[in-house]
Amino acid sequence: MSYAGLIEVTGRVNDFLNAGSVLSWDARTMMPKAGAGSRSKQLATLAVAARNLLCSDEMKRELDGAEAEVSGTASDSPEARIVAQVREAIDYHERIPTELLRRKTELGAAAHEVWAEAREKADFSLFAPALTTMVDINREMAQAIGFEEHPYDALMYRFEPGTTTAGLKTLFARLREGMIPLVRAIADAEKPHSDFLFRDYPVDAQMQFALKMAKRIGYDTDRGRLDTTVHPFEVSFTRNDVRITTRVATDYMPMSLFGALHEAGHAMYEQGVDPAYTRTPLATDLISLYAVGGVSFGAHESQSRLWENHVGRSRAFWANHMGDIKAAYPGILDDVTDEEFYRAVNRSEPSFIRVEADELTYDFHIMLRAELEAKMVDGSLEVADLPEAWNAAMKEYLGVDVPDDAQGVLQDVHWSSGQIGTFCNYTIGNIMAAQLFDTATSENPGIQTALDGADYAPLRNWLTDKVAQHGRRYTRDELLENATGRALDPEPYIAHLTRKFTDIYALS
């Protein structure tokens, strides 16, 4: 019964979760369709085993001893935070029946293939039964976890602790206030030339260039690799094996490039976690049962959005790398300048697909999903009515008519795996990215000078120092307070969007 004993047992929990991550990575990249049934059982077995070990008498005995051992340390020391997080996780999971976790995990693995088929056929009715069951399971989980105001709050706690439905309503209102005037002004402005993005780009060349740019900003391929998938993701099996994926369309090259930069941002977060935290609760989300080092899903998203948008879509990036992309696609972009390319990859126009949305309209996709999720969870929206509600909201928010379910309600993988409550993380990540980037460049002018010269190490080192190395030691707002001097603040994000799009579209 000791702190060392606690670390050993939580390390075994981490091992179970990493084994599950390997199976999930394989399922989403290489596994044949026929393997889905048995894979769901395997993943459920590992998830339940991790949960049972977490809540075992052995763990509790070691935790009791560890609490006594670290009682004299500072409350924010790694040791004290580990002990507190294990105690919180045990209390959390003991509220959720083991059989409910098993049902959710099994369905999540099996439903992925159902969703993929429904998406391929653009037929929501094929996925609706599985989603109905998944929503019912999540309602049960919300009741088991407990909440004060809205059942959706309990589900968001898994991914973004402290976020509430009421708080999101206020945050979304502030973002709409800042964004809608820009969206309306841009609608009447001259659009950047962008047809060259839709030329014929060979698949192999796209993958090679995407990986080259991911490595250029700092993704360590000695500890990672790039593959293709239906829906891009990053997954880590400790900081020394962090893999990314992207997707490729031969007639639209930015999809593979910015998908890779985005996932590389996630990966560099995991690769930057303090090596001492490997296999400990500071690199393991014991609440969500994921083997990740990010303190919240929003914090994780801040790193991907920062590298994708503040760096990869910056004017300086393409002033420096236009020669690289022309060399990657001989003869295809010879008639395009770096300024034209910069404007094209930052054009703002309403679109159907979230992951391809521009910076300015992206958060409207998130607002839509979070609001619909909350309604499904509280019962005010039936799953059968989801496509109609989705299409109506897309018309209201973005003025577009959704042509089919594949480009509408079926485009995201999250609901198939049961990740209800996680969409808010993307907007929180956008806000955090702007807040962190603003602080890094304003307090350290040399960082921007380095970026202007295609040197990404100073920014990467700052982010490692302020964010990545700490793993899960601090809460999201503690992390922001330490790095920027304030908690979550949407104003730098609104200011960033205003500056950028006022410039690109020559708005008055």
Residues marked active site are found at 263
CA angle (18, 23, 24) in 5-degree steps? 90
E strands of 197-293, at which residues? Answer: 226-228, 234-236, 242-246
* Residue (of 117, 69, 66, 101) closest to 87 by Cα position: 66
Cα distance between residue 440 and residue 442, in whole Å: 6
Distance (Å, rounded) from C-alpha 202 to C-alpha 256?
11
Q: Are 394 and 402 in contact (CB under 8 A)?
A: yes
3-state secondary structure 7-57: HHHHHHHHHHHHHHHHHHHHHHHCCCHHHHHHHHHHHHHHHHHHHHHHCCH
Q: How many residues does the chain have?
A: 508
Do 287 and 299 contact (CB within 8 A), yes or no? no
Q: Per the structure block, which two tokens stand in for 306?
A: 């920062």
Provide the 8-state DSSP code for 466.
H
Q: Which strands sit side by side in the sheet containing 226-228, from one edge to the other?
A: 226-228, 242-246, 234-236
290 bridge partner residues: 285
How far CA 375 is from CA of 127, 200, 424, in Å, comes to 18, 42, 14
What is the C-alpha to C-alpha distance for residues 246 and 90, in angstroms, rounded to an integer? 35
How many alpha carbons lie under 13 Å from residue 35 in its C-beta half-sphere?
12
Query: 339: which 2 tokens?
Result: 């300024």
1 in Cβ contact with 64 (< 8 Å): yes
Nearest to 363 by CA among 316, 317, 398: 398
Number of other residues whose CB lies within 10 A of the CB of residue 372: 17
Q: CA-CA-CA-CA torsion for 47, 49, 51, 55, nearest 10 degrees?
A: 180
User: CA 221 → CA 212, 215, 277, 300, distances in Å?
Assistant: 10, 7, 21, 19
Report d(CA 167, CA 247) in Å as an integer: 34
